[in-house]
Chain A
Amino acid sequence: GAVVSQHPSRVICKSGTSVKIECRSLDFQATTMFWYRQFPKQSLMLMATSNEGSKATYEQGVEKDKFLINHASLTLSTLTVTSAHPEDSSFYICSAREDFGAEQYFGPGTRLTVT
């Protein structure tokens, strides 16, 4: 089956710094990738949809200047959490799909802790 990887799996950073999370589709070309955030014991909340070569579409309430998304190639999307604060500590999960309506494949997630 299709494989999506994320890097890093865990990251700890200090308040005020920026952190970049990578999402890669390993064996297929992902025209669209999705970024989710999950707080402990809560659901996955869609943050944004990124299409290769174009600007990401953010969900209501998600600050686009704080969560920078780049989808520069068909196999890589990055999420940068800028000026991170402790409340940004969460589990960030990406998913990727090849064509519209196709199955989404989820990455293993990145645990971000901001101290």
Chain B
Amino acid sequence: GQSLEQPSEVTAVEGAIVQINCTYQTSGFYGLSWYQQHDGGAPTFLSYNALDGLEETGRFSSFLSRSDSYGYLLLQELQMKDSASYFCAVRRGDKIIFGKGTRLHILP
């Protein structure tokens, strides 16, 4: 089977930095993805890590440690529009298995 663990909620202040952690247990691991989903919308792809290390895309960065079965999403210079749910997801072959999601609340 597989499981992904991430915090259910995180609160941060506008302009700050926040890190959302994800640990996973799965067989046949290909890589770790992160998705953003606003209320009522579909998930949008943020990043994908297949190898260990940090991937940076603008204000968002994602990290993976395959040996620790751990990854995180780092959001910098938080903006109010970043208030959303963030899902880590593992790729197993052709399938994407989503974590339960972290609700990010941003305070002005």
Contact surface of A with B, Cβ cutoff 8 Å:
32, 34, 41-46, 49, 93, 95, 97, 100-101, 103-109, 111
Contact = CB atoms under 8 A, between A and B. Distances in A.
A32 B96 CA distance: 13
The interface residues of chain A, by DSSP majority, are classed as strand
A106 B100 contact: no
Interface residues of B, number: 20
Interface of B: 30, 40-45, 48, 87, 91, 93-101, 103
Nearest to B100: A43
A44 B91 CA distance: 14
Q: Considering the complex of A and B, which 10 residue pairs feature the smallest CB-CB distances, nearest first?
A: A44-B98, A106-B42, A109-B42, A43-B100, A43-B98, A108-B42, A106-B43, A43-B101, A93-B42, A100-B94
B43 A42 contact: no
Contact of B99 (A43, A100, A105): A43
Contacts of A105: 45
Contacts of A93: 42-43
Contacts of B98: 43-45
B94 A101 contact: yes
Contacts of B101: 42-43
Contacts of B96: 34, 46, 95, 104
